[in-house]
Chain A
Amino acid sequence: MATESAAMFDTDELVLNMGPQHPSTHGVLRLVLRLDGERVKDVDVVMGYVHRGIEKLSENRDWTQIILLTDRMDYVAAATNNLGYCETVEKLMEVEVPRRARYIRTILAELQRIASHCLWLGTHAMDIGAMTVFLYAFRERELILDLFEEYCGARLTYNSMRIGGLPLDLPSGWDDKARAFCDIMDSKVAEYEELLTNNRIWLERTRGIGVISGADAIALGLCGPPLRGSAVNRDVRKDEPYAAYDEFDFDIPIGTRGDTYDRYLIRLEEFRQSIRIIRQALDGLPEGPVMGKVPRLLKPKAGETYHAIESPKGELGYFIVSDGRATNPYRFRVRPPSFCNLQGLRPLVIGHLVADVVALIGTIDVVLGEVDR
């Protein structure tokens, strides 16, 4: 009887168009939510609002010019984009990169990881309503941007690497500043933890929210912290070391429950591991040139290659085909981690409330510039 009369109280579903202009879709992501009350029954993820055709553009630029296009994909982690691209071309051309250059690249990539995670932490916490963390995280990100500015003159789109090495050596005194930054950052990570990790409200908002099993995460092609949060031990830095990662000691944090809180803890631990790597790299920084022997005119022989690195967001891969005749790639394809992780949004979001949707967009850490390219 109860079920019959309940039909009387059946409700219509509400279609809510979240974005592309919305304060917490991290750019121009658009979600078409189908709501039952405030519970999400289904979601369409619509993207493409910042598609600039970077892949196609790259096929009409010469090899060096592409570096600055890669800056503009994941614009909060430009250095790792540069690194991935340069290493791919180096692999294609079989160029030897000097050890000092590889060390500096590692330092830059890890600084970039901290900067990117700062931005993630700030926006994620702000989505859940903790607005002070946002400004704290940006305060530290600012220090990193200052370091980058001193190194290459730019603060966001660095164009900081070259095929075969680096355009510049480190300015004198830079390593001391980087060391000082590591000390500051250590205490600041503790500060973030103080504000959030054991905060009741934070726990209630993140524990058990957006749980995904390891098998599902692999099936969806998730990568980076969202994958490791589900207890899958996969980090390109360990599994297929590049730059100078094989020479350093560091741990890969792994989650157990696969929820938003685990992904949060993983990224916080990655702050510490990144600091550890930077310290080791600064201490063991070898002397020598920063640029390998590379011809003036780059013209790789015909062939194709795929190379992946661990960007702050996950596995960033480049697939490049050269036809051996032109000074530009024949085919240029990026495996962007944000794009792949965004595939996980739908299964994560369904069944949760509207308030969780913003937390879940935050937890997969997408940058729309990279999703759309």
Chain B
Amino acid sequence: MLDTVFWPLVKIVVLLNAVMISVTFMTLLERKVIAWAQSRLGPMRVGPYGVLQAFADPIKLMTKEDITPANADKMMFTLAPILSLVPAFVVFAVIPFGDDPLYYVADINVGLLFLISVTSIGVYGIILAGWASNSKYPLLAGLRASAQLISYEIAVTMTLVSVILTAGTLSMVEIVEAQRETGWWIGFIQPVAFVLVLIGGLAETNRAPFDMPEAEQELTGGFHTEYSGMRFGLFFLAEYANMIVISAVVVVLFWGGWLRPFPSVGALALLDYIPSWIWMFSKMFLVLYLFIWIRATLPRYRYDQLMRIGWKVLIPIAIANVVITAVVKVLL
């Protein structure tokens, strides 16, 4: 009982709190990094160098008035943020943050598929938010978002197939183990797949330059136009939690998860004294930093261009990549 119920529960509680806290600091990091990129200071008022801004924001969101528009579909309007948040949190269950079972909640044999399928549920939150608000901008945004997510999900899933072929397993933990055994991070074997997943990940988390569903300049904030207070906060939480998930997926699949650099070079065994989770988190940090950097630099694609890239560029490349991987795998 202790092993099957109690410890997993403790892990889940710790993990969820860690995710929420890292999301708040993620927003702070984003504001700071973008501010530095734009020759500003960013938040400076709350605490030294604005560090406590990470707590001020959630407090503000929680104490704000929570408005439901008069003509909204009340039930769906309430359900939508929950539907987008829950999948974002559930997928953390299968992400291994370290080499010890202590660092992950579950290692299920279809881990990667579980991750893909659960994230695909998140799109309902966005569509329903757009529809339930009973307002035109959110509706347009909801349609954009769903079309975008579905298209890019195909591209990403296709790409992941080539990773699965390379690693020979669907379990997240075993994918990392496979990279330890071969001594090659999959990112070096499958660079194309890495780029595709990164682009697809940006699109699936609605990040710049693919942030059409919430493009404030066009759709005044998109699907969460009508949301305020903590319900808006839930969308926000989901978006950033998804970013963290994508960064974790990229690291686990392509950059050796918790492995130290050059896992096959014995001379660097000294690095093994650094705990595995530190490697994992620092790699994730780099990916997240890249996301923020991209947001500070690039303009936004137009909706039809985004769809064109998804269907006419990414998906064919992904399929070609799968075929090539399969052929190479058979030949070797």
Is there a contact between chains A and B in the complex with CB atoms less than 8 Å apart? Answer: yes
Q: Bits for A300-315, please: 1 = Cβ < 8 Å to B, else 0.
A: 0000000000000000
B300 at interface by CB-CB < 8 Å: yes
The answer on a CB contact under 8 Å between B208 and A129 is yes
B37-45, B94-102, B119-127 - the one binding chain A: B37-45
The answer on a CB contact under 8 Å between B217 and A205 is no
The answer on a CB contact under 8 Å between B39 and A129 is no
The answer on a CB contact under 8 Å between A130 and B303 is no
The answer on a CB contact under 8 Å between A355 and B303 is yes
The answer on a CB contact under 8 Å between A131 and B296 is yes
Q: How far is the CA of A322 from the CA of B260 in the complex (A)?
A: 84
Interface residues of B in 195-245 (CB under 8 A from A): 208-209, 211-212, 215-220
Given contacts A16-B136, A38-B303, contact A129 B215 (CB under 8 A): yes
Shortest B308–chain A CB gap in Å is 10
Interface SS, B side:
helix
Q: How far is the CA of A127 from the CA of B96 in the complex (A)?
A: 40
B74 at interface by CB-CB < 8 Å: no
B17 at interface by CB-CB < 8 Å: no
Q: Bits for A329-360, please: 1 = Cβ < 8 Å to B, else 0.
A: 00000000000000000000000011111100
A126 at interface by CB-CB < 8 Å: yes
User: Across the interface, which residues of B come within 8 angstroms of A199, CB to CB?
Assistant: 298-299
Interface SS, A side:
helix
Shortest A61–chain B CB gap in Å is 38
The answer on a CB contact under 8 Å between A126 and B298 is no
Shortest B208–chain A CB gap in Å is 6
B4 at interface by CB-CB < 8 Å: no
Partner of B211, one of A14, A129, A205: A129
Interface residues of B in 266-300 (CB under 8 A from A): 296-300
User: Across the interface, which residues of A come within 8 angstroms of B137, CB to CB?
Assistant: 16
Interface residues of A in 155-192 (CB under 8 A from B): none
Partner of B303, one of A14, A139, A353: A353
Partner of A204, one of B136, B215, B297, B301: B301
Q: Bits for A272-313, please: 1 = Cβ < 8 Å to B, else 0.
A: 000000000000000000000000000000000000000000
Given contacts A204-B302, A353-B304, A354-B140, contact A132 B38 (CB under 8 A): yes
Chain A residue with Cβ nearest B309:
A204
Shortest A349–chain B CB gap in Å is 13
Q: Bits for B42-80, please: 1 = Cβ < 8 Å to A, else 0.
A: 000000000000000000000000000000000000000
The answer on a CB contact under 8 Å between A139 and B39 is yes
User: Across the interface, which residues of B come within 8 angstroms of A196, CB to CB?
Assistant: 299
The answer on a CB contact under 8 Å between A205 and B38 is no
Q: How far is the CA of A356 from the CA of B38 in the complex (A)?
A: 25
The answer on a CB contact under 8 Å between A129 and B300 is yes
Total number of B residues with any Cβ neighbor in A under 8 Å: 29
Q: How far is the CA of A16 from the CA of B280 in the complex (A)?
A: 47
A46 at interface by CB-CB < 8 Å: no
The answer on a CB contact under 8 Å between A132 and B297 is yes
Shortest A23–chain B CB gap in Å is 6
Q: How far is the CA of A191 from the CA of B34 in the complex (A)?
A: 17
Partner of A201, one of B34, B37, B209, B220: B209
A202 at interface by CB-CB < 8 Å: yes
Shortest B36–chain A CB gap in Å is 11
The answer on a CB contact under 8 Å between A354 and B218 is yes
The answer on a CB contact under 8 Å between B140 and A23 is no
User: Across the interface, which residues of A come within 8 angstroms of B211, CB to CB?
Assistant: 129
Given contacts A14-B136, A129-B211, A355-B212, contact A205 B218 (CB under 8 A): no
A254 at interface by CB-CB < 8 Å: no
User: Across the interface, which residues of B come within 8 angstroms of A126, CB to CB?
Assistant: 217
A106 at interface by CB-CB < 8 Å: no
User: Across the interface, which residues of B come within 8 angstroms of A57, CB to CB?
Assistant: none
A residues in contact (CB < 8 Å) with B: 14, 16-17, 22-24, 38, 125-132, 135-136, 139, 195-196, 199, 201-202, 204-205, 353-358
- A-B contacts besides A202-B299, A358-B218, 9 pairs, CB < 8 Å: A16-B136, A17-B136, A22-B220, A24-B218, A129-B209, A129-B211, A131-B296, A139-B39, A356-B302
Of all A-B residue pairs in the complex, the 5 with the closest CB atoms, nearest first, are: A129-B300, A130-B299, A135-B38, A24-B217, A129-B299
B residues in contact (CB < 8 Å) with A: 34, 37-40, 136-137, 140, 144, 208-209, 211-212, 215-220, 296-305
**What are 20 A-B pairs with beta-carbon distances under 8 A?**
A16-B136, A38-B140, A125-B299, A127-B217, A129-B217, A129-B299, A130-B297, A130-B298, A131-B38, A132-B38, A135-B40, A136-B39, A139-B39, A195-B297, A201-B300, A205-B302, A353-B302, A353-B304, A355-B215, A358-B217
